[in-house]
Amino acid sequence: MSRKEAAVLASRTLALLLVVWVLTEVSYLPEYMHSFVHHLRQESVLATAHSYLYWYYLLRLGSLVVRLVGYSLAARWLFKGGPKVVELVVPSVCSEDIAQN
């Protein structure tokens, strides 16, 4: 197996793992949206409690969206491959060491 073939196999395997993570994170989206909307609509006597829960669920939802976008972009980059991905997955120093042994 050549260095490039090994890199393509490894990078596509990592991309598949990231896609599975994205699908797992998407399954949490309805829960986070429901919690956020529930506390957005809830009228509270204490404004600080409303503010705290509003910002808490907004941060949870925002961090979920950031993870979804980040994992998706990383999976796309790894799946497409290229010289930077080959160097990341199978560094040239590693292949030179293998060739010397």
Whether 101 maps to a domain, the answer reads no
What is the predicted pLDDT for the residue at 13?
93
Whether 18 maps to a domain, the answer reads yes
Range of the domain at 47: 3-95
Question: Taking a C-beta distance cutoff of 8 angstroms, is the pair 12, 76 a contact?
Answer: no
Whether 69 maps to a domain, the answer reads yes
Mean pLDDT by 10 residues, the chain (101 residues): 84 94 95 88 63 86 96 94 84 61 54
Whether 85 maps to a domain, the answer reads yes
The number of distinct structural domains making up the chain is 1
Angle at 89 between CA 84 and CA 91, to 5 degrees: 80
Would you give the distance in Å from CA 44 to the centre of its chain?
35
Token pair for residue 92?
A: 């040239």
